[in-house]
């Protein structure tokens, strides 16, 4: 099972002057900053979605992706699977009363994402 959504992602060395100016506090006295390359993940196709099952959750005050991940996947580190599937990258994109679909089983979902 995958440990990180970044396992297939390169680490870049960014010494771009524009980036340095925008994010001065991250550079301190360094010439460059290392960070992960932006992921290129495809959303599951309708045929792939048919292969999955789902737990439905109505979002309520205090909910967090990492908490739902812990309950449904046994670990909070897979919070991003729920966020990605629902096309809502952060909890600020979810409103109280929204339906959040939790794709299952995790191993099948990760295979769909290429992990």
CB 44 within 8 A of CB 52: yes
How do residues 98-110 score in pLDDT, each as one tens digit?
999 999 999 998 8
Q: How far is CA 5 from CA 31, 86, 88, 95, 102, in A?
A: 27, 16, 16, 25, 17
Beta bridge partners of 74: none
Q: What is the pTM of this model?
A: 0.70
Q: Cβ distance 39 to 96 under 8 Å? A: no
Residue 32: count of CB within 10 angstroms of its CB: 13
What is the domain partition of the chain in residue ranges? 1-40, 46-112
pLDDT in tens, 20-50: 777 777 767 777 877 777 666 788 899 999 9
């Amino acid at each position: 099972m995958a440990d990180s959504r970044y396992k297939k992602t390169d680490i870049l060395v960014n010494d771009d002057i524009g980036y340095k100016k925008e994010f001065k506090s991250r550079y301190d006295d360094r010439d460059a900053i290392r960070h992960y390359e932006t992921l290129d993940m495809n959303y599951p196709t309708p045929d792939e979605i048919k292969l999955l099952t789902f737990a439905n959750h109505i979002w309520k005050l205090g909910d967090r992706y990492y908490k739902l991940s812990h309950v449904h996947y046994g670990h909070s580190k897979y919070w991003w699977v729920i966020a990605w599937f629902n096309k809502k990258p952060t909890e600020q994109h979810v409103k109280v009363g929204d339906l959040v679909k939790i794709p299952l089983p995790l191993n099948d979902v990760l295979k769909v994402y290429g992990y």
